[in-house]
Amino acid sequence: MTVEEKLQALGGLDALYDGEGAGPVRLPRMRQAAGGGIFYAQAGGGCCVPLLRVLMTNVCEFNCRYCSINCHRSVRRTAFKPEELVRTFMDMLRRRLVRGLFLSSGVAGGASKSAERMLTAVEILRQREGFAGYIHLKIMPGQPADYIERAVTLADRVSVNVEAATPAHLARIAPKKSYDLLLPPMAEVHRLQQRHPNLLRAGQITQLVVGAAGESDQRVVQTASELYDSYSLRRVYYSGYSPVCGEVLAPPVPPLRQHRLYQADWLLRFYGFVFPELPFQEDGSLPREADPKAAWALLHPERFPIEVNRAAFDELLRVPGIGPVSAKRILALRAGHAFRDLRDLSRLGVAVKRARQFLLLDGRYLGDRLLAERPTLVRDLSPVQLSLWGDEIPLLEPVAA
């Protein structure tokens, strides 16, 4: 098999279903470029960075039912040798096709053997080739501690994919995996980060496959919140399930469900919310008709309106239409300027159509006092949550697990 054919098999569609069990990545900030394995990830400031996103091998001993390369699938199997992968990457780097590497693998011959092939390739890149750019390494389920330490020393980011919201949900979709294989490596990475804070500049991440096992949004976000608290993760990714290879575990997840999960996640990470505050419905789902922040605000009329010229930073963050960047701008400017006009806020990046309903400007309410009775309320408050791209998201944050 030629290198080009291997890149198609290991860096094309199959690489989106990597050996850790990733579902199809459908993030709007990520697109496949011409050529197998090249993906564009958005970095800080809105720029796109091309990565070689590739599997070391698509041979896998796990039987994850959401994965296109599991041990029961009828697919053409292949693998890169470490030297072969290094030559391929360096050639693409010299041709300016890529600037970084996201290396994963199927699990073939056990966690140690699979990890060794990946680590050998990355060690050659770092030590012999002198590559100092971005590398994301996948940690294998059950990977020994010494192999994890090598990975943390070599990579900018590592990931251990938990995949499901609970051990019971995981057993339904990945019978050979368990939390006992997945959480200890994650804990070991966290321990190493605490001992060596200068390592892993892009942190540790994980992924949850959503919709394959019948889990609710509430259970998914609760698990994410617990993982953030326990392991100081940089990010949790939510991969909406889509049937593969004719095996249907559940209907495909609507993009809106995945989008709402990311919005709820941002409330936890950037807006000062804690899990019990999130506005889940009786069936455990996030509201579809409004984003979680707007839904929370509508459920707490006692908190509004707030005075823009006196409100604290965390109070401003609770207002639909105000994000961390615009909240900081308000605080910076109001010391010498009293805000009296919505246009002043608009110039700072506030989505005033949404925010005006929850604000006072110099004692004046410029929203609609009959808001609660308006049939267009949800429509007015449901645009996409303000973006944080620019100064809050670290290097290569949107690279999906």
Task: Look up the CATH number of the domain holding residue 108.
Answer: 3.20.20.70
Identify whether residues 188 and 64 lie together within a single domain. yes
**Confidence (pLDDT) at 36:** 73
What pLDDT is attached to residue 368? 79
**Looking at the domain assignment, is residue 213 inside a domain?**
yes
Residue 390 has pLDDT above 70, yes or no: no
128-151: average pLDDT: 97
Tell me, what's the pLDDT at 33? Answer: 40
What is the CA angle 229-231-236, rounded to 5? 80
d(CA 27, CA 384): 14
Q: Do 218 and 103 reside in the same domain of the chain?
A: yes
Q: Which two tokens stand for residue 341?
A: 């006009």
Q: In the chain, how many domains are there?
A: 2
Over residues 331-380, the pLDDT tens digits come to 999 988 899 999 999 999 999 999 999 999 999 998 876 554 444 455 55
Nearest to 252 by CA among 263, 260, 262, 244: 244
According to the model, what pLDDT value does residue 1 have? 86
**Of the candidates 193, 39, 9, the residue with the CA atom closest to the CA atom of residue 101:** 39
Q: Are residues 256 and 307 in the same domain?
A: no
In a domain, 282, yes or no: no
Residue 397 lies in a domain: no
Please indicate, yes or no, if residue 391 is contained in any of the structural domains.
no
State whether 51 and 120 are in the same domain. Answer: yes
Domain annotation covers residue 399? no
386 band by pLDDT with thresholds 50, 70 and 90: very low
Say if residues 287 and 378 touch (Cβ distance below 8 Å). Answer: no
Where is pLDDT greater, at 186 or 393? 186
CB 202 within 8 A of CB 233: no
43: pLDDT confidence band, cut at 50, 70 and 90?
Answer: confident
Q: Are 158 and 307 contained in the same domain?
A: no
Are both 223 and 329 inside the same structural domain?
no
Residue 208 φ then ψ, to 5°: -120, 125
Least confident of 310-324, 344-358, 386-400: 386-400
Q: Are residues 248 and 300 in the same domain?
A: no
Q: What integer pLDDT is reported at residue 21 of this predicted model?
A: 33
Greater model confidence, 180 or 48: 180
Residue 10 corresponds to which tokens in the numbers above?
Answer: 């290991």
pLDDT number for residue 297: 96
Domain match, 91 and 180 both = yes
pLDDT at 381 over 90: no
Same domain, yes or no: 142 and 260: yes
What is the extent of the structural domain holding 362? 292-381
Q: How far apart are CA 229 and CA 321, in angstroms?
A: 27
| Residue 295 scores a pLDDT above 60 | yes
Q: Is the pLDDT of residue 217 over 50?
A: yes
101-105, 279-283, 371-375, 389-393: segment of lowest average pLDDT: 389-393
Q: Is residue 398 part of a domain?
A: no
Contacts of 270 (CB under 8 A, 6+ apart): 323, 324, 388, 392
Query: Does one domain contain both 194 and 111?
Result: yes
| Strand, coil or helix: 372 | helix
In 156-266, the DSSP E strands lie at: 157-159, 204-210, 235-240
Query: With 50 as the cut, is the pLDDT of residue 24 above it?
Result: no
Q: Are residues 68 and 136 in the same domain?
A: yes
| DSSP label at residue 252 | P
Shared domain for 184 and 229, answered yes or no, is: yes
Last residue of some domain: 237, 271, 305? 271
* Other beta carbons within 10 Å of 108: 19
Position 71 pLDDT exceeds 70: yes
Determine, yes or no, domain membership for 401. Answer: no
Question: For residue 284, is it within any domain?
Answer: no
**In 289-376, where do the E strands start and end?**
306-307, 359-361, 364-365
Based on the number of CB atoms within 10 Å of its own CB, is 333 exposed (0-12), middle (13-18) or buried (19 or more)? middle
